[in-house]
Structure 1
């Protein structure tokens, strides 16, 4: 399975992180009612603009599975859900809700 991780501005759609174009190491897991994303950021200046808009972000995970349509997971970032630990070079994003959608199911034919 191929996976792409994106962090986008909720209003304008601007992509701050897109691992399909610029790979970055990341992990995510469900912890109780939350999803927690951790992203290694080697150069903090790379995410300075993202941090300016941290109250207006959405997270997406696109999963491409062979012989199946792409699945898109859309996560809604919590209020105060974005932190950056400069010492560790780690961006943490917390989300409490998400939806799964398959774009092929919404196509007009």
Structure 2
């Protein structure tokens, strides 16, 4: 499986992180009702700008399989927290909601809700 990680501004659609264009080490896990993302990255102007919009972020994980349709997982960061940990050089994003779907089947999946 190949995976792409994106962090975008929810309103404007501006991409802050896109591992398809610039690979970065990251990991995520579920923690209770939240999903915690840790991205290893240097502090930069892009990270500073991302932090300004921390209450309006969408996080996406695209999972591309060899013999299955691509799966898109959409996480919404509502009230964070979102912060940069200087000691570990990690951006930490906590998302509160998650929607998983197959883009080619999205309209079918929505009509079943």
Tell me if TM exceeds 0.5: yes
Q: How far apart are 1:80 and its partner, in Å?
A: 3.2
SS at match of 2:45: helix
Counterpart position of 1:45: 45
TM-score (normalised: structure 1): 0.91
Q: How far apart are 1:96 and its partner, in Å?
A: 1.9
CA RMSD of aligned residues (A): 1.6
Q: Which runs of 5+ in 2 are unaligned?
A: 108-113
Q: How far apart are 1:46 and its partner, in Å?
A: 3.6
How many matched pairs?
108
Point out the structure with the larger helix share: 2
Counterpart position of 1:54: 54
Q: Which runs of 5+ in 1 are unaligned?
A: none
Q: How far apart are 1:84 and its partner, in Å?
A: 0.7
Counterpart position of 1:80: 80
TM-score (normalised: structure 2): 0.88
